[in-house]
Every structure is written in structure tokens, then in C-alpha cells.
Copies of this chain bind each other. A is one copy, B any other.
């Protein structure tokens, strides 16, 4: 059997604590949560993206440059990246579905198209070739040329690891070599793009090829940043992540996706070069991002205007930007931090983002998407334009998110299990199989609906099986072959060291009571509110579960009452809580301080946040004012 590596494959000399299990060492069972998600991605999201590349004109732009069609360039100036991300998704998907001839044909014909569109010198960017040939590499604060090249390289890395699309790899290497030629010498132009993304791509290409100049250039790109060398933007240099040298930074700032892609690249460079200073900067920024600037759903970015993080604790639920791409980038960054350190907190944040912000971005059928992921859709919301629609849309003028989802989910099994010298670590739980050198683990679980995880473990020699105990779990128990084991979580993992050669069954029970959650008191936006959570899932209240005449903003929840399970169609675990409706005391927008109106009792139903907007459209909120606040 061929071994296909997945995303993020540190070289043997990299200073990481953990190594990912190969992509085809992990398989999700079709009936597990992640398996179903991945299947929906394969049959719904990915074909939808391929189709939209035609509809949006992204492929035609390349055909224009290749001389295969005539007309005008259409769409965003970085629309090539939609093609590249879809290619990457297709490559990963082909490791699971090697016989999908349609998908293979898409990869092959698109790689051929890219080869035709590529210039003799290796340059490949349909917008700058068709529209602004004289400005090639001349407006990097704006152009996204290196960003687009980065996505092409990432597609090629996936193709190389999946063993498909040799032509794609050749095209991308020519692009990478041109970039190295152009930017790779200290006396050449400064290697900076207003939108990061190429840094991690270059490191991954180095990992695939062993060609050191890619890694060296990525490192130079990091050190060139933060000196204000990019032309200033109207939102300032922090928008371009060019406001402070990365090694000195101690706060995440500016455009979230740009900041997070850069952070993934920082970790990649740090572990490949043993650069502790760089890694320490990434740690500091992580503490800031996850300690002060992350939504309960794992979404990041509270500002629509400049797509920025926002100030510390500035986390409005209704105006949450929480771009889908940012949540995906958070998964990518946290996975790298986890590999580097083996610390469970990174897996905790990866899980939070994955099951809430990322999962919630996509409709149940996999073909409609949110770009922004608010935690509150107000009654009377004006959803008339795509900046903050009331419902998921099939595509966007700036279509970065859907193909980004496709590539993440197609490779999702690459983000679940790792190995180190002691054995195997399971970070995410879903029914399926993990095969590593030291042994094999078959998992049966209804996770995230249920905290019971049963594992059949075998292996020729003794090893340590480390099972992650999520930070939300206060009570864990383990049986091995039906016998209770007195084992406490050690740095976030239950670690079972034994001889598995005869095979053993492990039952991990992660207690999953409903949690009534509050935010840090400096989060003004949700003062006096609580949210419900169970396991990794954040819950929300939707208008669809309220009486028609009840305005969502008038609903209160009793935070002390017991929350129980209830039945809602198509929702495996819905919750019900005691609450009230408080009719506003008159229309006045401001009044002198007084107590609220008498409240009428109401039974509240809550469903997982990621399932919102799959029934009749309407208001939704995660944070619910309490009966004790008003």
C-alpha cells in the first residue's frame, strides 16, 4: 500500500513533539460524525465548488490567459486561488476516493490549463497577466500574487502527497522557483505580500522536495515583515500584518486571516529551523488571541470593516465577523502548535473552532455557506447584502471560504491522530480507524453527541495510547477490557501504557453534562447573558423553536434551572431550559433605571449552533440574557 501523507508533514529534523499519522492511516467510519461530514464534503461541497469555478469565471480567467477563450477578466483579482484551493481539496479527496474519475479528470485538465496559462518564465496569475501585465510584482501590498502562488503550491503539495497531478506539481515548482529567483536574494526586492499565505506553502514544498531555498525564502519573508515596508493601507499597516516585527509582536492584530495564515507559517519555519524565538512569538500571540479575542464558537474577528480581530474583549455577538476562513486558519495554526508542543490546549481550540465556527459555516446539504459567522442574528436583521446575509449563500463575490472548507474537510482525518516515541495520541474522536507503525485503533463513538468512546487497540509491541481529555470535560473514566483504570489526565491526556499485542478494548467516558457558560466580565457585549454548551458543541436558540409572537430579544433564561434533553427533528441532541419572556416596558429607547416588566414563563429549546439556519430562516442567538439580569 502506498503511504499518502496529509497536510503538515514536518521533516525528520524538525523540532516537533508529535508527528501526524499518515493520511491513509486514518479513516473515518461512514456513520460517524466526521465521516458523515467528510462524505457530505465529497458529494456536496467539493462538486459544488468545481461547478462554481465555471459559473464565477475563475476557470475562464485562466482559459483567457491560455488563449482558449476570449473576453474580459471576471471576478476578484485573486480568483485564481479559488481554483487552487479546489484543486487541493480534490487532491486530498482522491486519497480517499482514488477511483473518482471525474475528480481525477478535474485535476488533470485543470493542471493542463494551468500549464498553458503559465508564462515561459514560470509566472502564473491570470489577473496580472490579462489585466495588469506591466504591474507584475509591483503592487504587492494589494496584488495577492504571492498569496495566489501560495495556494497553487499548497495544491501541488497535496497532489504530490496524494500521488496525483504530476503536471500540477511541475507547474507549482516553476512558480516557486520563479519566486525564489525573484525574491530569494538579499539584494533583490523585499519578499512581502499584503496577504500572507505563501510562507507555509513554501515550507510544505520544502518538506515535499527537500529543496532548501524554499524554506530559506519563507524565513526571509517572516523577517521582512513588520517594518512597514508594504505600502500603507487605508486601514494601516496592521491590516497587512506589517506593523511590528514578528519576533517582537505580543498581540494579534489586523486582518484575522492574514494574521493567522502568517502564524501557521511562523510555526512551520520555527520547527524546521529550530527557531525558538520565532516560536515563542507565536505562543505569545496565541495567548492573546485565545485569551482575549476569540468567540465562544472559536470564531475570530469582531470587525467587518477591516476584517480585524478588534480590541481585547471586543466580541459583539451580532456583529461577529468570524470569517469562515479565519476559523479554518485557526484549525491549521492550532494543529501546528499541537504538533510542535504536544500540549492539549491547542487541540482544545482546534476542536472548538471545528465543531462550531467551521461546522456552522456550511448548510446541512453542504452547498450553502456563511462567510461571516455571527452568534446572534437580530430580529429585523437586514440581510440584504452578502456582508451579513440572514441565511447561508451558495457562493460569494469573494469566494475564498467555500473551497477553503472543501480542502480542510477533505483532509480532516489528517488532523486527528499523531505519534511520538511513546506511541499514539488521539486528539479528535469520531468512529473510524487509526493505523500507525506501533499499532491499530478502531474507534466506535457517537461523539460529539455522546462522550462514550470505545476503542479496540492492538499492536505488536507495548506503546502508550494517549487519549485527549478536552478542557470542557471535568469528569473522565476509563475501562480497559471492562475493568476500571485509575488514571488521571496527564497534561490533558489519559495515557495508557501497556502491551496491546493480545488486543484490548478501552472505554473512555467523557462526562458531557450541559454547561451554562459565561464570558469574562470584560466582554461587555454579552454581559448578563449565558450560553449553553454540551461537550464540544455550543448551543443556540432559534426563532424556529419559539412561538411566532415571541421576539427573540425578549427571551430570558434561568441560569440556575436544570437543562434537559428534548426532541427536535434532525437534531440528535437538543436541549430545553426554563426561561421567560419579558415584554419591553414601552417603546422608549432610553428610560430611567427601573426593574423590568413582569415576565411570562417560557420553555426554551436550544440546538447546536452549527445546525442553525437549516429550517425556516429567522433570528438566532447563542448568548441568552438571564432572568436575573433583565
- The residues of B that contact A294 with a CB separation of less than 8 Å are 589
Q: Quick check: B313 and A319 within 8 Å, CB to CB?
A: no
Question: CA A305 – CA B371 in complex, angstroms?
Answer: 15
Q: In the bound complex, how far is the Cα of B588 from the Cα of A519, in angstroms?
A: 8
Provide the A525-543 mask, 1 if CB < 8 A to any CB of B, else 0: 1111110000000000000
> In the bound complex, do residue A253 and residue B382 qualify as a contact, i.e. CB atoms below 8 Å apart?
yes
- Residues from chain B with a CB closer than 8 A to the CB of A238 are 382, 384-385
A216 to chain B, nearest CB (A): 32
A594 at the interface (CB under 8 A from B): yes
Flag if A589 contacts B292 (CB, 8 Å): yes
- Contact present for B312 and A378 (CB under 8 Å): yes
A355 to B379, CA, bound (A): 31
Q: How far is the CA of A367 from the CA of B292 in the complex (A)?
A: 35
Q: Does A502 contact B (CB under 8 A)?
A: no
Please report the C-alpha to C-alpha distance between residue A319 and residue B301 in the assembled complex, in whole angstroms. Answer: 13
Q: CB within 8 A of A290: which of B378, B380, B589, B630?
A: B589
Given A527-B529, A551-B522, A553-B522, A379:B590 Cβ within 8 A: no
Set of chain B residues within 8 Å of A524, measured between Cβ atoms: 317-318, 376, 525-526, 529, 553, 623, 625
Q: Which residues of B contact A239 (CB under 8 A)?
A: 385
Docked complex Cα distance between A449 and B36 (Å): 67
A234 to B312, CA, bound (A): 29
- Which residues from chain B contact A236 at a C-beta distance below 8 Å? 384-385
Chain B residues with CB under 8 Å of A243's CB are 384
- Which residues of the other chain, B, contact A629 by a CB distance below 8 angstroms? 527-528, 629
Q: Which of chain A's residues 483-517 have a Cβ closer than 8 Å to chain B? A: 515-517
Query: With A and B bound together, what is the CA distance between A290 and B587 in angstroms?
Result: 10
Residues on A facing B (Cβ under 8 Å): 234-236, 238-239, 243, 253, 290-292, 294, 296, 302-306, 310-314, 316-319, 376, 378-382, 384-385, 387, 397, 515-530, 551, 553-554, 559, 582, 584-585, 587-594, 596, 623, 625, 629-630
Task: Enumerate 20 A-B pairs (CB-CB under 8 Å) in ascending A order.
Answer: A234-B387, A235-B385, A238-B385, A303-B305, A304-B304, A306-B387, A314-B319, A316-B319, A318-B524, A516-B593, A518-B593, A519-B589, A521-B585, A521-B625, A522-B554, A524-B525, A524-B553, A524-B625, A525-B525, A527-B630
